[in-house]
Amino acid sequence: MFALSSENRFHLYSQPTDMRKSFDGLSGLVQNILGRNPCNGDVFIFINKRRDKIKLLHWQGAGFILYYKRLEKGTFELPRYDSSVGSIVLDYAKLVMIIDGLSIENIQKRKRYQPNI
């Protein structure tokens, strides 16, 4: 089944990515540049320089899944981050906001009860 959820860990690669890269090229970036195992079940997010294309690489079961979205108009808004780091961890809500075109900087999360477990 093709599914992403808040149970996954999401890593946004901090450099613009050549969108001609596919499974092998992107998993090579994960392994060689980020020093992570691309087969660990985490989701790795790549965005091009113009910020109108996004790819998500995810190992699930016995193989890679590659999600790819191209905007016909507009750009993806990214959170502020230090581009000298290899990647930043995003939560699922921020990923959905990026993909849906919502402004990350202007939205504030309301307080909710969190039991001490």
Domain spans in the chain, listed from the N-terminal domain onward: 10-100
List all residues 6 or more positions away from 76 whose beta carbon is below 8 Å from its beta carbon. 47, 51, 52, 54, 98, 99, 101
Q: Give φ, ψ of 10 to 5 degrees.
A: -120, 125
pLDDT of residue 35: 95
Q: Residue range 38-51: average pLDDT?
A: 96
Beta-bridge mates of residue 55:
46, 68
Give the torsion sign (CA, 80, 93, 96, 58): positive
Greater model confidence, 23 or 101: 23
pLDDT of residue 86: 86
Question: Residue 22: pLDDT above 70?
Answer: yes
Greater model confidence, 82 or 101: 101
